[in-house]
Structure formats: structure tokens, C-alpha cells
């Protein structure tokens, strides 16, 4: 017979156990993102081999399990059915005699062109040879392939590796492969120091160089890395997008993702313009590329960090998370095509509760007084008929704050993390961060994705995008919108989200 006292003891034990579990659980650490993928432990950088098959989005990533700083690269592996809930799986690719496993891509070989089996998942990656590097050799980066017949669980490396040997160029890496239907061949887009090489192949094993692009075009403040090439349609017209990540040389310092729009004929990429455009102006969206095998839907994901400080951000068991998955689209301003990004609609699956309001005069609008304090991730959406200067301030009870807003004089959206908590690990972390406004309309819409350690701003239907991480000493709880210019919010929604890890 259980007495009342025993029940109380049992209840106390259960409460203690639950709270201690939530304190020590793999995803409950300080600064741990709740709606973004991060590895349980160890170091992560670029997303790799993103491919969709049999209802699952596969995410591989640059991974070093033995430390929280960059080291010998493996491909980590996670899967999701909805781009929001991720399951971390065992490591997919380990370093081998040809080197460690740098960035690359994966495809589903539907027609068995490589002979590894119908629908084989084939990874195309760079082997980076650190031993040869120490000896001063140049040919340290070579492209190799591996295949999996069980959805990425186990892999066989191709005996004939490397499939694209190094011609004597130090930075020669990050192959992104896609199927080019008009000529029924594979195209490899490769980052080569300060330009892109395009290769083609009928079987993923034998590659022919087609052309080069970009030596004198676009941004060149750093090394070109992690490219991607794909078509998007605009009112039925096919426009090709070439993504080129670059480090350093980004618009807010350090790493960033530039892109070009243009034509691709299976051999040559011809850009529409030669100036530089960025997918995301913020400091913390790097090495982003898109999923393969998703049909007309193009889904992009980046590494939510920056090589300026990635190795020293104040997290303990792990370092770095990815951005929210984003749907890419084209918009036209004048004669120019711009690539817009917005969070994927699947983020709605985390919906907990929403506060909605209309026609708010945002001289000082205390959002959390109405909607409830921030207690984890949230999405703030607002629209206005007339954009004026405003600030959205996230703050905690120890006087730290992050300010996101719009400066009308400069016509820029911005993030100010100068008082956001721990910032002294890098001299530039507290610097002003901005993204120009590209839309010329009077009205606007804004979506702000807020997690424990990041904000992602999508303004004007995703034309102006900015991602920034931050590390407050205790999580931000309050959200206030202020405007000295008398900004009127036509409609506002503040959505509390559930953690994706529960
Ligand atoms: C980009 C990058 C890639 C490389 C990988 C190494 O962040 O430098 O060019 O393949 O990281 O981890």
C-alpha cells in the first residue's frame, strides 16, 4: 500500500528527475538553438550532400566529433521529414588515405549512370590531404565519390578515386553536382580559388572540363568556396542562379554568400549582370547551398556562423548550428532578377500559440506584455502601409539587448548586437550590421525568426535578408517595438514556437 507520504516522495523524485533531465539533456545547453539543427557534440561547419529521397531530407555536414574547434573533417549526417525536426545519425564519411572529407554534394542516380545501382545515393566531395599540405605540395585537393544503397547509412568509396584530380591549384574544392536534363548529363560546379570551373560527366566517374566563370566578376575579397548552380522560374521564364560563397569579403565582414543570375547552356554560364548580390547580408549565413532532388522547389540552408569567430563563439559542448531552411524564389526589380528567401512553410509545424493585433501605433509597443514573454523560439511578423524607422528590441533582466530595425535615412535594415551579451571574444562581433532595402514600395512586410542564440530577418518578401547570432548571459525574454517616427503596424503576429527537440 502506498501511503500519502510515499506518493509525495515519488512525486518529488519525478519532478527532480524531470527538471534535472531538462537541465542536462543534449539540447538544453546554454545558447543551444531550439529550432535549428546543431550536432549534439563536437564541431560543425558547412552543410554538405543535401539530398531529398523517399520522403526524407538528408543533411550531411562538415563535422569533427573529437573537438569543438575545426579539425580533420568527416561528413556528419542528420535526417528530417519536415526540414524542422532533425534526427542525428552516425557519421557517414570518415577521412581516408586520400585525405579528410571536405565539402561537397549528393545526388540520387535514378538511371544508374554510375553503375552503383538504381537510385544509389552518390556523394561527390573533396578529399583534402593534410599530410601533403605539410610537405608543401599544391595538389592537395581532389574530387572523389562514394555511394550508398541504404539511404546514406553505409557508404562505399569508389576505387577509382579521385575522379577529378588536381591540376596544380591549391584551392580546388566543394563540388556541387546536378543533373542537366537537356543534354542528359551531370554538371559539376567547382570552386577554384577565384573562379568557378564547370565539368560534365555521363557517369559521375569521368569528368570533362567545360568552362570557367568569374575571375573578374563579382566579389573577390576572399577565396571562392561552396558553389551551387540551378534554374528558378520567373513567370515561366527559366533563369539560372549561380551561388558562390566567399571567405572573407562579405558585406558585413568575413564569410558570406554571393550569387549571380544568368543563362546556362550545359557548357557556359553567362551572367545577366556582373555586380555583386548577396543571398543574406548578415554575418552568420555561410556555405549555403540547396537540396537536390526537390523538383521545382529550391530549398536553401546555410551554416549559421562566420569564419571570423566560428572557432571561438561561447558554446561548450558543440560549435555552430545551421540557418532555418529557406525557400528561394526570383523577384524582378526593374530589369534585374533578385533571389529572395523566406523560411520554409514547414516551420508552422512548431506553432504553439499566436498573438495577433491590428493597427498598432508603435511609438512603444510592448509585445511580450501582451503576447507573453519569450520562453524559447518565436516568429514575429508585421506589415505596414508605410515603412518608417523602427526598432525591435529583445532584452533580458540583466540589461542586455539586441536591436533589429530599419533606418529610414540610410534605407537599411540593421542589427545592433553591441550590447547583446558576450561579444568580447572577437573585436568585430559588436559592429553595426546592415542590409540595404531593395524594394521600392511604400509598404513592407517583415518576418523575424527568433531562437535562443540567433535572429533571421526577412524583409520585403525575403528580398533583404540578414542572419545574426548572439550570446546573452541569460536568454532574452522581452520584445518591444519602438519608433520615434510614428510607425503604424497594420497587422502583427507574434507566434511562440515549440522546441524542435521535444
Ligand atoms: C567553407 C570551407 C570549404 C571546405 C570546408 C572545410 O567553409 O572552407 O571550402 O570544403 O569549409 O571544412
The answer, yes or no, to whether any atom of ligand 1 lies below 6 A from the CB of 126, is yes
Of 64, 130, 173, 250, the one to substitute when testing ligand 1's pocket (max ligand atoms within 8 A of C-beta) is: 173
Catalytic residue among 46, 197, 280, 460: 46
Average pLDDT score over residue span 63-87:
98
Same domain, 366 and 336: no
The answer, yes or no, to whether any atom of ligand 1 lies below 6 A from the CB of 304, is no
Average pLDDT score over residue span 118-137:
95
Same domain, 338 and 360: no
Is the predicted pLDDT of residue 439 greater than 50, yes or no? yes
**Cα 394 versus chain centre, distance:** 22
The answer, yes or no, to whether any atom of ligand 1 lies below 6 A from the CB of 103, is yes
Is the predicted pLDDT of residue 12 greater than 80, yes or no? no
- Do 482 and 391 form a contact (C-beta atoms < 8 A)? yes
Same domain, 269 and 160: yes
- Do 31 and 450 form a contact (C-beta atoms < 8 A)? no
The answer, yes or no, to whether any atom of ligand 1 lies below 6 A from the CB of 225, is yes
Residue with CA nearest ligand 1 atom 9: 225
Share of the chain above pLDDT 70, in %: 95
The answer, yes or no, to whether any atom of ligand 1 lies below 6 A from the CB of 174, is yes
CA of 225 to the centre of ligand 1 (A): 7
pLDDT for res 11:
43
For residue 212 the three cell numbers come to: 570557367
**Over the stretch 47-56, which tens digit does the pLDDT of each residue have?**
999 999 999 9
Same domain, 337 and 355: no
Per the structure, the complete domain to which residue 216 belongs is given by 25-343
For residue 83 the three cell numbers come to: 526540414
Average pLDDT score over residue span 300-309:
98
pTM for the model stands at 0.94
Q: Which CATH number fits the domain that encloses residue 355?
A: 2.60.120.560
CA of 374 to the centre of ligand 1 (A): 35
Q: Which strands form 74-80's sheet, in the order they lie side by side?
A: 87-93, 74-80, 56-64, 42-53, 318-319
CA 89-475-16 angle, to 5 degrees, is 70
CA of 471 to the centre of ligand 1 (A): 24
- Do 137 and 131 form a contact (C-beta atoms < 8 A)? no
Same domain, 264 and 280: yes
CA of 71 to the centre of ligand 1 (A): 11
CA of 330 to the centre of ligand 1 (A): 27
The answer, yes or no, to whether any atom of ligand 1 lies below 6 A from the CB of 73, is yes
The answer, yes or no, to whether any atom of ligand 1 lies below 6 A from the CB of 102, is yes
Same domain, 140 and 71: yes
Q: pLDDT band at residue 214, thresholds of 50, 70 and 90? A: very high
Residue with CA nearest ligand 1 atom 8: 225
Is the predicted pLDDT of residue 499 greater than 60, yes or no? yes
Burial 134-156 (b: 16+ CB within 10 A, else e): eeeeeebbbbbbbbbeebbeebe
The answer, yes or no, to whether any atom of ligand 1 lies below 6 A from the CB of 45, is yes
Q: Quick check: is 368 in a domain?
A: yes
Is the predicted pLDDT of residue 10 greater than 50, yes or no? no
Q: Quick check: is 11 in a domain?
A: no
The answer, yes or no, to whether any atom of ligand 1 lies below 6 A from the CB of 61, is no
Is the predicted pLDDT of residue 94 greater than 50, yes or no? yes
Average pLDDT score over residue span 442-466:
98
pLDDT for res 26:
73
Of 39, 102, 170, the one to substitute when testing ligand 1's pocket (max ligand atoms within 8 A of C-beta) is: 102
**Over the stretch 241-282, which tens digit does the pLDDT of each residue have?**
999 999 999 999 999 999 999 999 999 999 999 999 999 999
Is the predicted pLDDT of residue 152 greater than 90, yes or no? yes
Is the predicted pLDDT of residue 22 greater than 80, yes or no? no
More confident residue, 3 or 489: 489
Same domain, 249 and 389: no
**Over the stretch 172-201, which tens digit does the pLDDT of each residue have?**
999 999 999 999 999 999 999 999 999 999
pLDDT for res 1:
43
Q: Which CATH number fits the domain that encloses residue 295?
A: 2.115.10.20
- Do 119 and 147 form a contact (C-beta atoms < 8 A)? no
Same domain, 321 and 431: no
CA of 105 to the centre of ligand 1 (A): 13
| Dihedral over alpha carbons 452, 454, 458, 464 (to 10 degrees) | 170
Q: Quick check: is 155 in a domain?
A: yes
Is the predicted pLDDT of residue 415 greater than 80, yes or no? yes
Q: Quick check: is 75 in a domain?
A: yes
Same domain, 143 and 35: yes
Is the predicted pLDDT of residue 20 greater than 60, yes or no? no
Average pLDDT score over residue span 366-391:
96
User: How much of the chain is helix, strand and coil, in % rounded to 5?
Assistant: 10, 50, 45
Ligand 1 atom at minimal distance to the Cα of residue 191: 9
Is the predicted pLDDT of residue 452 greater than 70, yes or no? yes
Peptide bond into 85 cis (omega under 30): no
Q: Quick check: is 124 in a domain?
A: yes
Q: Quick check: is 15 in a domain?
A: no
Q: Which stretches of 299-350 are assigned E, i.e. beta strand?
A: 299-303, 318-319, 326-333, 336-343
Tell me which of 325, 343, 361 is where a domain ends: 343
Ligand 1 atom at minimal distance to the Cα of residue 126: 10
46 labelled catalytic? yes
Of 39, 45, 190, 283, the one to substitute when testing ligand 1's pocket (max ligand atoms within 8 A of C-beta) is: 45
Same domain, 381 and 472: yes
Phi and psi at residue 132, in whole multiples of 5°? -65, -35
Tell me which of 314, 343, 372 is where a domain ends: 343
For residue 298 the three cell numbers come to: 529550391
Is the predicted pLDDT of residue 468 greater than 70, yes or no? yes
CA of 47 to the centre of ligand 1 (A): 10
Q: Quick check: is 12 in a domain?
A: no
- Do 254 and 227 form a contact (C-beta atoms < 8 A)? no
pLDDT for res 175:
99
HSE of 335, CA atoms in CB hemisphere, 13 A: 3
CA of 126 to the centre of ligand 1 (A): 9
- Averaged pLDDT of the chain: 94
Ligand 1 atom at minimal distance to the Cα of residue 255: 7
Q: Quick check: is 18 in a domain?
A: no
Q: pLDDT band at residue 25, thresholds of 50, 70 and 90? A: low
More confident residue, 341 or 7: 341
**Over the stretch 337-347, which tens digit does the pLDDT of each residue have?**
999 999 999 99
Phi and psi at residue 307, in whole multiples of 5°? -60, -20
Same domain, 241 and 363: no
Same domain, 224 and 275: yes
The answer, yes or no, to whether any atom of ligand 1 lies below 6 A from the CB of 287, is yes
Ligand 1 atom at minimal distance to the Cα of residue 225: 9
Domain count, the chain: 2
Tell me which of 315, 343, 371 is where a domain ends: 343
Amino acid at each position: 500500500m502506498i501511503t500519502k507520504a510515499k506518493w509525495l516522495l515519488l512525486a518529488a523524485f519525478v519532478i527532480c528527475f524531470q527538471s534535472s533531465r531538462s537541465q542536462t539533456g543534449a539540447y538544453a545547453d546554454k545558447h543551444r538553438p531550439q529550432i535549428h539543427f546543431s550536432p549534439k557534440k563536437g564541431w560543425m561547419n558547412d552543410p554538405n550532400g543535401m539530398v531529398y529521397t523517399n520522403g526524407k531530407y538528408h543533411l550531411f555536414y562538415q563535422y569533427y566529433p573529437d573537438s569543438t574547434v575545426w579539425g580533420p573533417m568527416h561528413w556528419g549526417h542528420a535526417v528530417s521529414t519536415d526540414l524542422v525536426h532533425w534526427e542525428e545519425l552516425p557519421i557517414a564519411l570518415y577521412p581516408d588515405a586520400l585525405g579528410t572529407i571536405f565539402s561537397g554534394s549528393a545526388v540520387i542516380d535514378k538511371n544508374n549512370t554510375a553503375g552503383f545501382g538504381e537510385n544509389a545515393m552518390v556523394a561527390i566531395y573533396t578529399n583534402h590531404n593534410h599530410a601533403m599540405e605539410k610537405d608543401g605540395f599544391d595538389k592537395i585537393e581532389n574530387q572523389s565519390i562514394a555511394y550508398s544503397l541504404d539511404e546514406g547509412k553505409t557508404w562505399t568509396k569508389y576505387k577509382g578515386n579521385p575522379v577529378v584530380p588536381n591540376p596544380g591549384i591549391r584551392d580546388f574544392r566543394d563540388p556541387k553536382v546536378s543533373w542537366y536534363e537537356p543534354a542528359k548529363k551531370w554538371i559539376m560546379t567547382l570552386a577554384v580559388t577565384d573562379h568557378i570551373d564547370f565539368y560534365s560527366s555521363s557517369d559521375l566517374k569521368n569528368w570533362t572540363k567545360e568552362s570557367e566563370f568569374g575571375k573578374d566578376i563579382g566579389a573577390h575579397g576572399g577565396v571562392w568556396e561552396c558553389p551551387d548552380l540551378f534554374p528558378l522560374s520567373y513567370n515561366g521564364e527559366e533563369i539560372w542562379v549561380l551561388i558562390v560563397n566567399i571567405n572573407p569579403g562579405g558585406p558585413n565582414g568575413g564569410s558570406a554568400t554571393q550569387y549571380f543570375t544568368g543563362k546556362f547552356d550545359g557548357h557556359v554560364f553567362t551572367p545577366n549582370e556582373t555586380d555583386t548580390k548577396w543571398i543574406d547580408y548578415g554575418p552568420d549565413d555561410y556555405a549555403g547551398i540547396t537540396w537536390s532532388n526537390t523538383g521545382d522547389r529550391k530549398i536553401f540552408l546555410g551554416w549559421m556562423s562566420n569564419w571570423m569567430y566560428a572557432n571561438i563563439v561561447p558554446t561548450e559542448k558543440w560549435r555552430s548550428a545551421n540557418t532555418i531552411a529557406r525557400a528561394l524564389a526570383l523577384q524582378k526589380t526593374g530589369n534585374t532578377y533578385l533571389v529572395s528567401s523566406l523560411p520554409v512553410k514547414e516551420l508552422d509545424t512548431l506553432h504553439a500559440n499566436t498573438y495577433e493585433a491590428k493597427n498598432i501605433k508603435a511609438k512603444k509597443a510592448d509585445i511580450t506584455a501582451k503576447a507573453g514573454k519569450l520562453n524559447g523560439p518565436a516568429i514575429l511578423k508585421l506589415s505596414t502601409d508605410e515603412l518608417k524607422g523602427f526598432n525591435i528590441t529583445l532584452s533580458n533582466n540583466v540589461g542586455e539587448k539586441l536591436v533589429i530595425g530599419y533606418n529610414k535615412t540610410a534605407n537599411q535594415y540593421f542589427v545592433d548586437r553591441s550590447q547583446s551579451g558576450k561579444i568580447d571574444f572577437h573585436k568585430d562581433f559588436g559592429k553595426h550590421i546592415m542590409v540595404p532595402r531593395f524594394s521600392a514600395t511604400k509598404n513592407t512586410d517583415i518576418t523575424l525568426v527568433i531562437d535562443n542564440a540567433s535572429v533571421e530577418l526577412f524583409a520585403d518578401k525575403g528580398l533583404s535578408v540578414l542572419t545574426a547570432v548572439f550570446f546573452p548571459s541569460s536568454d532574452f525574454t522581452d520584445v518591444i517595438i519602438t519608433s520615434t517616427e510614428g510607425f503604424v503596424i497594420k497587422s502583427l503576429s507574434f507566434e511562440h514556437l515549440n522546441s524542435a527537440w521535444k
